[in-house]
Structure 1
């Protein structure tokens, strides 16, 4: 049977790409590391790694086992944290996985309240560009809780937080009519857009909503940073589609509601029933997460 130490060795060898570097990081000799890896391979009934002259490569068996090894190590870490909490210790770490846009717009007030209530339980934040990456990382056991779009066919607990609204940001120097609070996306078909980098989840979203409106958006500029998109749009580079909750009060840009509306439901989800620390975080999240910003309700948002 595989041991946690052997699984840790496997993950470290893969992450480091070298038995030599892994042995140094694990503070063991290379022969001892190789011995444990051979023992693991005997236990599972086949080779997990292919030894190359200057690196290692996972075999099909290794690729199948790796996410389970990561999940087992993450579970063991959570078990240690839960044991410390059960013993009355008020310290530890909570791992939270999310999207860049959510960490920018939704999480800051949540983390501020959490920090005040639980100053010795630290947050480790893992940020991802795409909801699919977030889902895969959570499935591998990267974090205690994920915050992002509702995951399809998720086997664990899911707690919906609300419906996120998207807005269109236009240049500040364009024509203004204070009575106009919405814009039909089809009227922006000829514009060059502030787009997102390939692989970014919001790039896919913009392409999808524009396709539904009958056009493919041209990119004036592509950015990796969600926070940069509204600033570039306000500076005159072109319209941008952004989550409304990332815009601060007093944002210096023209903000309109897209027609048809662009929305997505956000949720928090875990791989299993949450332990007391995770449950406490979920309560704070549900109470403090402002999925729809109050300063835009009544002006731009319904």
Structure 2
């Protein structure tokens, strides 16, 4: 027989999160006396003092700090359990929210969405285009159901999805190409680099930034491609996205030492709790896995890039 209830633990967590009993009462829409009574009953039931006397401030005791961490975990699991029940009760979901990093191949995404829509014609789909840690940030905040991210998701499920190849490129007439020799990272630092801003509000990552003194930051990769195509700087760009510009030799890979201008990054399929996903989400995941396995290897394009660098 349990000595405590989830509601008591919820009141306890609310006091800690809000910073006091009065604030917690407003947070959970209960009276201050109700919140205080619930926490007091909890302490009596478990025989542990959760708060220390610290004037008018609420301060956790050492035991309270431990109990807070465990309570947060239990309450989170309880919410997941109810979400699973809601999913089972509702049957097929009516809305699927997906965060997709902008480096993910768009044609592949469109094929997956088309297949899922054929199976679930009434399904509404919301796509959030993200950069770097933005996809997992949206997943963490509960604003999307599934994410395609360049980072594993520490709070749930992560699976290797596909690899994306990048090349450091600049316009054919850019001064870096005029040097007509193998370039070093020091050469690049004296020229403008175009980088794409991390779309997460909490975490800012400058992936691929080489420490260039001149840096322009944009919010979408297509803006970066446009700027590079007009000779305004250099950038690391996904080879699949700039395939046309490379074939037309509008953009050329920078001849960095030992093919240092070529990089490969993993994209991950991430979500918080598979049991809470409905049939449409599961169909999307299955089709995404299948389509990603059919993704042509970029090795051929990489070889072309290497040949361009060596010319």
The TM-score with structure 1 as length reference comes to 0.60
Residues 134-165 of structure 1: CA deviation (Å, up to 9, x unaligned): 39976x9887544324639x797654321111
State whether structure 2 residue 124 is matched by structure 1 residue 130.
no
- Structure 1 position 200 matched with structure 2 position 194: no
1:26 CA displacement? 3.8
CA distance in 2, matches of 1:137, 1:21: 27
Q: Does 1:61 align with 2:66?
A: yes
Higher Rg of the two aligned structures: 2
Q: In 1, Cα distance between the equivalents of 2:152 and 2:161?
A: 13
Matched-pair contact (CA < 8 Å) for 2:173–2:231: yes
1:232-284 deviation line (CA, Å, top 9, x unaligned): 54455421223446669779973637733211222224566555534322113
How far off is 1:292 after superposition? 6.8
Change (3 A) 1:167 1:158: same
Cα distance in 2, alignment partners of residues 234 and 65 from structure 1: 53
Q: In structure 1, the residue corresponding to 2:152 is in which secondary structure?
A: coil
Where 1:90 maps in the other structure, the secondary structure is coil
Q: Secondary structure at the match of 1:71?
A: helix
Cα displacement (A) at 1:191? 2.2
- Aligned residue for 2:214? 220
* Preserved CA contact (<8 Å) 2:97 2:145: yes
Aligned pair partner of 2:35 in 12, 33, 37: 33
Matched, 1:80 2:85: yes
Query: Secondary structure at the residue paired with 2:164?
Result: strand
Q: Structure 2: 5+ residue runs without aligned partners?
A: 307-311
How many residues align? The count is: 280
What per-residue deviation string (whole Å, max 9, x for no partner) do you get for residues 161-181 of structure 1? 21111233425763799xx9x
Tell me if 1:71 matches 2:76: yes
Q: CA deviation at 1:76?
A: 2.6
TM-score (norm 2): 0.59
Distance 1:173 1:50 in 2: 70
Give 1:254's match in structure 2, choosing from 240, 251, 254.
251
Q: Deviations over 1:157-209 (max 9, x none)?
A: 654321111233425763799xx9xx8664534323224669533x1x325xx
Question: What SS does the corresponding residue of 2:69 show, helix, strand or coil?
Answer: helix
Contact map agreement 1:91 1:121 (CA 8 A) in 2: no
Aligned counterpart, 2:166: 166
Report the aligned-residue RMSD. Answer: 5.4
Cα gap change, 1:190/1:288 in structure 2, threshold over 3 Å: closer, same or farther?
A: same
Whole-angstrom distance in 1 between the partners of 2:58 and 2:105: 37
SS in 1 for 2:268: strand
Determine the C-alpha separation between the residues in 1 that align with 2:83 and 2:54.
32
